[in-house]
């Protein structure tokens, strides 16, 4: 067991959580949510998505969101970008870290970003070339449908490794492996993670699980055991992919932090403060039940809120 | 990894699932539910509880339920019994396997079965002595609050091992370790399971997890990795303890079978047929949302229902 002593949580609620919610959450509320998340100790927050407003109207205020949170200290914000235009807009707004997304399966990539995978790789190359004028920009590549595709089913490991290789050759060093629709199981996840770590020791891998079929935390546990230190999760367990039928929420930040705290692994997050963000979200999205188990059940008797600053 | 190639699922929905539901499910519907569960391939079913009808009115028809299912072949039924009276009633009704329950924590035992732990151990001794007149009876000891107590919080490992020792000394050979209120975490579960297996190699251990804080399947996974082969679960994720505040459902049979199938571990259960039981339950308990993720989301694209007879 190479279990890490601390992990970095990437809070994706403001992006993945909100992106398929029809109700438009007002800009100032999105900003307030991000502030509450930051106050809880979350240091990496995917704040929004620079996509075409027709594709995802929820993020038509991406620029204003970023402008509302630029003053927050100690927090590393990222924004999802599906293409060069989005990347430029994000950088202009003041975002330093771009999360470029494309899918390991061709059909999901076409559905999600309207491009072939090859076109996405070329787009990534153009985005990475923006570093010349933006020396402090970072790019995290978020690979979707790594553990299964809603259109194609299982994905071949050689395809996963091939596209990681392509991305690495372009100079990317941080890659998130995503179970976009909750198809992964612990055995498969362990196998794929092992292969990725073995074949690409220079890459920093993160993981992104949805809890669609209930296996999200079991899959995260396996990654922990393999030494992964970066985990995406979403406040309240909100989330899903608007172009992936049947996709439901991300693993919830509350449940993930609880599991890690109880296992003695530091996250820097204070669950009592995190619940303030959960309550704020629930109060402002009344029709959408949050799926965080911990938020619904509350912490165990005699449980002390652990918070060790990272 | 000592991962087993097959596991035995003990379906506890008809007992743990129904026990804290206020709506009385008519006897014939309980019988029908059990028949559907058996048809799906489940070979061990905890069918009911022989408790005082004032304590749990849902099981005032325990005798009639057993009479309705006695004819079913290839299924090993058990009934929960909290005391000698319950054990005698269960045996008279035709039950061959008794699940005797008591708690590792004194306060939960008092709340749950109105006895000290010592009194429960003495009661177990009396129940085991019924073997003289009932040579083919089996007793499984179900230890509650092993991974935490809603009144006392954490439970000491020495207490767990001490009571397992007491139970073993009385001649019991099958013990279920239960996370009655969903307090367990994978690190703690692994540690306790390791200790139990090391210290009591002659005992056959099973585990029983609630998904109260979302960690149920992660905890089950850890047990699998330690070689545990007997898992309790509940159709639809129903369940809870009427005397344990905040307790919610068991891990759901659908999600557990899905995880095991996907990992190539045989259960003998056909999920397509299992869903017939889920639908039957949902149709008859309209106000109670089932918490099985798989039942809500459906299986992945291209997924084939695996069913390898055990």
Structural domain including A47 reads 8-297
Q: Give the N- to C-terminal CA distance of chain B in Å, as an integer.
A: 22
Q: Which of these, A166, A145, A272, A268, lies nearest to A210 by C-alpha position?
A: A145
- Please report the pLDDT score of residue B17 as a whole number: 93
DSSP state of B13: I
- What's the token pair of residue B262? 């996907």
Query: pLDDT band at A304, cuts 50/70/90?
Result: low
Q: What is the ipTM of this complex?
A: 0.93
The answer to whether the Cβ–Cβ distance between B258 and A153 falls below 8 Å is no
Q: Which residue has the tokens 């200290």?
A: A73
Q: Is residue A120 part of a domain?
A: yes
Collapsing DSSP to helix, strand or coil, B181 comes out as coil
Interface residues from chain A to B (CB-CB < 8 Å): 148-154, 181-183, 185-188, 211-215, 217-218, 220-222, 246, 248, 252, 255, 258-259, 262-264, 292-294, 296-303
Distance from CA of A180 to the nearest CA of B (A): 12
Q: Is residue A250 part of a domain?
A: yes
> Dmax over Cα atoms in chain B, in whole Å?
54
Q: Quick count: other Cβ atoms within 10 Å of Cβ A202?
A: 6
Strands (E), A161-295: 174-179, 204-209, 230-233
Name every chain A residue with its beta carbon within 8 A of the beta carbon of B302. Answer: 152-154
Has residue A298 got a pLDDT over 90? Answer: no
The answer to whether the Cβ–Cβ distance between A248 and B212 falls below 8 Å is no
The answer to whether the Cβ–Cβ distance between B263 and A187 falls below 8 Å is yes
Contact yes or no for A250/A239 (Cβ under 8 A): yes
Distance from CA of A172 to the nearest CA of B (A): 31
- What's the token pair of residue B61? 């028809």
Instruction: List all residues 6 or more positions away from A6 whose beta carbon is below 8 Å from its beta carbon.
Output: A229, A265, A266, A267, A268, A310
Task: Give the CATH number for residue A118.
Answer: 3.20.20.70
Estimate to the nearest angstrom the gap between the alpha carbon of A17 and the chain centroid: 9
Query: Which phi and psi angles does A102 have, rounded to 5°?
Result: -150, 165
DSSP state of B159: H
Distance from CA of A224 to the nearest CA of B (A): 11
Q: Burial level of B303, CB count in 10 A (0-12/13-18/19+)?
A: middle
Express each pLDDT in A259-280 by its tens digit. 999 999 999 999 999 999 999 9
Q: Is residue A251 part of a domain?
A: yes
Q: Which of these, B117, B104, B118, lies nearest to B148 by C-alpha position?
A: B104
- Please report the pLDDT score of residue B307 as a whole number: 52
In angstroms, the Cα distances linking A205 to A46, A199, A224, A261 are: 16, 12, 12, 22
Contact yes or no for B33/B281 (Cβ under 8 A): yes
Express each pLDDT in A9-33 by its tens digit. 999 999 999 997 888 999 999 999 9
Estimate to the nearest angstrom the gap between the alpha carbon of A32 and the chain centroid: 19
- Please report the pLDDT score of residue A246 as a whole number: 53
Query: pLDDT band at A2, cuts 50/70/90?
Result: confident
Name every chain B residue with its beta carbon within 8 A of the beta carbon of A297. Answer: 182, 212-213, 246, 248
Q: Is residue A303 part of a domain?
A: no
Collapsing DSSP to helix, strand or coil, B271 comes out as helix
Has residue A248 got a pLDDT over 80? Answer: no
Has residue A165 got a pLDDT over 90? Answer: yes
Strands (E), B129-276: 138-144, 174-179, 204-209, 230-233
**Nearest C-alpha in B relative to A248:** B297
Measured distance CA(B42)–CA(B286) in Å, rounded = 24
The closest CB to that of A218, out of B152, B218, B298, belongs to B218
Distance from CA of B272 to the nearest CA of A (A): 15
Q: Give the N- to C-terminal CA distance of chain A in Å, as an integer.
A: 22
Q: Which helix (H) or strand (E) holds A48?
A: strand A44-49
The answer to whether the Cβ–Cβ distance between A300 and B185 falls below 8 Å is no
Q: Is residue A196 part of a domain?
A: yes
Average model confidence (pLDDT) across chain A: 93
Catalytic residues of B: 241
Q: Is residue B35 part of a domain?
A: yes
The count of domains in chain A is: 1
DSSP state of A149: B
Q: Which of these, B269, B244, B174, B255, lies nearest to B218 by C-alpha position?
A: B255
Measured distance CA(B263)–CA(B261) in Å, rounded = 5
The answer to whether the Cβ–Cβ distance between A259 and B214 falls below 8 Å is yes
In angstroms, the Cα distances linking A258 to A190, A266, B282, B296 are: 22, 10, 30, 25
Has residue A245 got a pLDDT over 60? Answer: no
**Nearest C-alpha in A relative to B299:** A213
In order along its 310 residues, chain B shows pLDDT tens digits of: 679 999 999 999 999 999 978 889 999 999 999 999 999 999 999 999 999 999 999 999 999 999 999 999 899 999 999 999 999 999 999 999 999 999 999 999 999 889 999 999 999 999 999 999 999 999 999 999 999 998 998 999 999 999 999 999 999 999 999 999 899 999 999 999 999 999 999 999 999 999 999 999 999 999 999 999 999 999 999 986 556 555 578 999 999 999 999 999 999 999 999 999 999 999 999 888 888 999 988 888 777 655 545 4
Name every chain A residue with its beta carbon within 8 A of the beta carbon of B150. Answer: 300-301
The answer to whether the Cβ–Cβ distance between A263 and B187 falls below 8 Å is yes
β-strands A174-179, A204-209: how paired?
A: parallel
The closest CB to that of A246, out of B183, B222, B297, belongs to B297
Measured distance CA(B284)–CA(B286) in Å, rounded = 6
């Amino acid at each position: 067991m190479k279990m890490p002593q601390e992990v970095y949580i990437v809070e994706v609620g403001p992006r993945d959580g909100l992106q398929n919610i029809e109700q438009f959450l007002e800009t100032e509320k999105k900003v307030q949510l991000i502030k509450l998340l930051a106050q809880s100790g979350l240091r990496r927050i995917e704040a929004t998505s620079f996509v075409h407003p027709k594709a995802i109207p929820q993020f038509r205020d991406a620029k204003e969101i970023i402008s509302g949170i630029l003053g927050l200290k100690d927090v590393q914000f990222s924004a999802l970008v599906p293409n060069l235009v989005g990347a430029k807009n994000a950088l202009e707004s003041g975002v330093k870290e771009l999360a470029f997304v494309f899918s390991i399966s061709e059909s999901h990539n076409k559905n999600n970003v309207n491009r072939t995978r090859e076109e996405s790789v070329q787009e990534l190359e153009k985005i990475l070339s923006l570093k010349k004028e933006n020396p402090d920009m970072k790019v995290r590549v978020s690979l979707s449908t790594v553990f299964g595709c809603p259109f194609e089913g299982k994905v071949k490991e050689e395809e996963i490794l091939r596209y990681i290789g392509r991305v690495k050759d372009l100079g990317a060093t941080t890659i998130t492996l995503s179970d976009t629709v909750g198809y992964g199981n612990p055995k498969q996840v362990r196998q794929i993670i092992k292969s990725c770590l073995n074949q690409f020791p220079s890459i920093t891998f993160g993981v992104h699980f949805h809890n669609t079929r209930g296996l999200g935390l079991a899959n995260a546990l396996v990654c922990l055991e393999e030494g992964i230190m970066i985990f995406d999760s979403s406040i309240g367990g909100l989330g899903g992919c608007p172009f992936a039928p049947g996709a439901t929420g991300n693993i919830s930040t509350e449940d993930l932090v609880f599991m890690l705290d109880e296992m003695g692994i530091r996250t820097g997050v204070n669950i009592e403060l995190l619940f303030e963000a959960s309550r704020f979200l629930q109060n402002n999205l009344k029709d959408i039940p949050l799926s965080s188990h911990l938020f619904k059940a509350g912490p165990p008797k005699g449980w002390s809120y652990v918070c060790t600053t990272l």
